[in-house]
Structure 1
Amino acid sequence: MATPLSMDLFSEENLAVVLYGQNDLRLERWPLPDKLENDGICGTDLHLWRQAQVADFRLQRPFCLGHEPSAIVMKCGSNVHHLKPGDRVAVEPAIPCLKCDRCRSGRYNLCPTSNKQSHGLPNSDGSLRRYYTHRADFCFKLPDSISLEEGALIEALAVVIHACRRVKIQPGDSVLVCGAGPVGVMAMLVAKAFGSNRVCVTDIKQTRLDLAKKMGADHCYWIDLSQKDLNAEDRAAHIVEMMGRPPDITLECTGVASSQSLAIHATEHGGRIAIVGLGQPSNGIPLSTMTMKEIDLIGVCRIKDDYPLAIELLESGKINVKPLITQRFAIEQALEAFRLLASPPDNDQSVVKVLIQYNNDDD
């Protein structure tokens, strides 16, 4: 359990991880707003650091990274009644307007305002800072059984829940997950929680596949990049043979064109593919094959009312994300954390999910 915090913590420095440009990441002191939290580093953050853009989002000014926070509430506005100082929360980063046609239809994740004001994407400041403010209705109280560290993984877990809902995974469906990073492994866990009885996970790193297998994957397929004679169609055939049949549904979590091509070749005729991983704005994938197989290619944009189920799955024990957390860094070591995740040692088998911590008294 985290210890409730007193207001004198506002006297601490509000250190923030700020991106100035391509490969230009700095640790700076920022003004003091209202929260203290953990945060996770994900592939989106690494893309922004290396390229100063991700998908269609491009850096226009220096901004604070971070969009996977858990937090301890320090102060509440006068109209906030469901939270109080000392509550531990998971924070949904997007800030929709709740007034436009998309919001009013229930698809607030597609709100144009949200696209401009989603924390941690250019150019809206994120949560990799010790204190900041956020809308109370997008802060979800954590049960006592869920740690702040687990809370920092709820954003990514909610994304894959949204993906599984978008492709309508049903009990008995066979599922292929491309990518065994934190998002891919969580996609495997959610697919099984939704009733899939056969899940295969792919990756180029055997150590990550070993972890996926340990956490419940039924099959794991290692993509050996040294086998240059194998194309996406060949690898797909090997996966189908391993699974015993083509997957009904594929969750593509890498954003890599070759993996997206593999997904199309492997997925069953009439099946569905969710594009979860963000890659290049334009990829050369076999759309004609997808058309002739009548595969539904489904985009996945962030989260839509998925935090409550993510919290419920963690609280019930149906999903355990703790093994994914492999490194923890203090905010003062944030740049070192980014460097480790971007270029893990070749012999390191344990770099999966890296957390930035702001409070030594965390659970």
Structure 2
Amino acid sequence: MTDAAKNLSIVLEGVHQVKFEDRPIPELRDSHDVLVNVKFTGICGSDVHYWEHGSIGQFVVKDPMVLGHESSGVISEVGSAVTGLKVGDRVAMEPGIPCRRCEPCKDGKYNLCEKMAFAATPPYDGTLAKYYVLPEDFCYKLPENIDLQEAAVMEPLSVAVHIVKQANVSPGQSVVVFGAGPVGLLCGNVARAFGASKIIAVDIQKGRLEFAKTYTATAVFEPGKAPAMDNARRIIEENNLGSGADVVIDASGAEPSVHTGIHVLRPGGTYVQGGMGRSEMTFPIMAACTKELNIKGSFRYGSGDYKLAVGLVASGKVNVKELITGVVKFENAEQAFREVRAGEGIKTLIAGIDA
């Protein structure tokens, strides 16, 4: 690396093969585009999965790909039609660009766009670079009380916002969240901001449960090596949930969590699957039917989610700063991948390169 690098990028070439590559500064493709000098990027489990395996399901890294999609930065250049941003503005970066023309886009569900160009999802490059181009309306100007490190956590927070909106969480409800990683923790925080009175965090890692207790959970539960119905009964009894929880969010993707979550719900309750697990698994369909559960999926984030995420942090209703447990220099990026793979900390950020 040299100080003269124009657009230094962290490129995945193959399994455990990452290199620094100086690429051309990207040009504005549209008059509504802006050029962002990336300042901080969080490491997501998907980044680590690509680093370790070279693929996620149908998405296979066939050509060198820049990693990263949880980013914040400062505007360096604006297109001729840009009116809401100017050079020097600090922004949170929404990293998925829909086509705006397909039926899901027209229906207001652009996260389901058939031609979504999502950062660090093959074949699209990610944000772990000095510069990145986005449309103006996918950059969210930060209020003064949100710093650029916090802004890099807006991406997982927006995932959590979308999940909790899918669950229709309302004041006074009880919510059980399976998985106390970043998204699960943020789901609990958002649910509390939406008025939930009980937030029960479930995980098999004691350290994460301890953090959840100090962060936002009203109670925690470590599943025993027992049938799902037994663990569900214990959660209900230990937390006085009566006939069951109002809402269950699975942010783990683990099959035992899915089973326990279905059984812990009250009749008529709502289940939202946010965690990505195996493509197929067994499912307690009898319980889902006889309790007439509302079962929903949740994928990334959609219209208004990023804006709401910024507002929740600005108002103090959601705290993302506590989740940031480490910041590494750009040149030490692989350290961040190793830390995330080892389950160290909650959210690790990679610092960007100044313009």
Q: TM-score, normalised on structure 1? A: 0.89
**How far, CA to CA, are the matches of 1:255 and 1:341 in structure 2?**
17
Q: 1:55 to 1:171 in 2, by over 3 A?
A: farther
Equivalent position of 2:37 in the other structure: 36
* Partner secondary structure for residue 74 of structure 1: strand
**How far, CA to CA, are the matches of 1:269 and 1:62 in structure 2?**
49
Q: Please say if 1:100 is aligned against 2:94.
A: no
Deviation, structure 1 residue 288: 3.0
Deviation, structure 1 residue 265: 1.6
Q: Is the 8 A contact 1:56 1:281 kept in 2?
A: no
Q: Is the 8 A contact 1:27 1:335 kept in 2?
A: no
> Counterpart amino acid of 1:268?
R
* Partner secondary structure for residue 195 of structure 1: coil
* Partner secondary structure for residue 16 of structure 1: strand
Q: Please say if 1:195 is aligned against 2:195.
A: yes
Equivalent position of 2:19 in the other structure: 26
> Counterpart amino acid of 1:154?
M
> Counterpart amino acid of 1:315?
A
Q: 1:252 to 1:98 in 2, by over 3 A?
A: same
* Partner secondary structure for residue 339 of structure 1: helix
**How far, CA to CA, are the matches of 2:353 and 2:145 in structure 1?**
19
**How far, CA to CA, are the matches of 2:271 and 2:246 in structure 1?**
9
* Partner secondary structure for residue 133 of structure 2: coil
Per-residue CA shift, 1:136-187, capped at 9, x if unaligned? Answer: 1111101111000000011111111111111111111110001111111110
**Which of 263, 266, 273 pairs up with 1:265?**
263
**How far, CA to CA, are the matches of 1:273 and 1:302 in structure 2?**
17
Deviation, structure 1 residue 298: 0.6
Equivalent position of 1:154 in the other structure: 154
Equivalent position of 2:349 in the other structure: 355
Equivalent position of 2:275 in the other structure: 277
**How far, CA to CA, are the matches of 1:78 and 1:88 in structure 2?**
19
**How far, CA to CA, are the matches of 2:8 and 2:264 in structure 1?**
46
Deviation, structure 1 residue 54: 2.5
Deviation, structure 1 residue 19: 2.2
Q: Is the 8 A contact 2:5 2:22 kept in 1?
A: no
**How far, CA to CA, are the matches of 1:234 and 1:30 in structure 2?**
55
Q: 1:261 to 1:59 in 2, by over 3 A?
A: farther
**How far, CA to CA, are the matches of 2:91 and 2:284 in structure 1?**
43
* Partner secondary structure for residue 128 of structure 2: coil
> Counterpart amino acid of 1:291?
C
**Which of 90, 93, 97 pairs up with 2:92?**
90
**Which structure 2 residues correspond to residues 47-196 of structure 1 after superposition, within 5 A?**
47-114=49-116, 117-196=117-196
**How far, CA to CA, are the matches of 1:286 and 1:46 in structure 2?**
31
Deviation, structure 1 residue 291: 2.3
Aligned residues with identical type, % of pairs: 38
**How far, CA to CA, are the matches of 1:238 and 1:58 in structure 2?**
41
Q: Is the 8 A contact 2:37 2:354 kept in 1?
A: no
**Number of residue pairs matched by the alignment:** 342
Deviation, structure 1 residue 13: 4.6
Equivalent position of 1:4 in the other structure: none
Deviation, structure 1 residue 331: 1.1
Residue ranges of structure 2 left out of the alignment (5+ in a row)? 27-34
Q: 1:56 to 1:79 in 2, by over 3 A?
A: same
* Partner secondary structure for residue 121 of structure 1: coil
**Which structure 2 residues correspond to residues 173-322 of structure 1 after superposition, within 5 A?**
173-223=173-223, 228=225, 230-245=226-241, 246-304=244-302, 305-322=304-321
Equivalent position of 2:29 in the other structure: none
**How far, CA to CA, are the matches of 1:270 and 1:321 in structure 2?**
32
Higher strand share: 2
**How far, CA to CA, are the matches of 2:10 and 2:267 in structure 1?**
46
Deviation larger for 9-18 or 260-269: 9-18
Structure 1 stretches of 4+ moved >6 Å? none
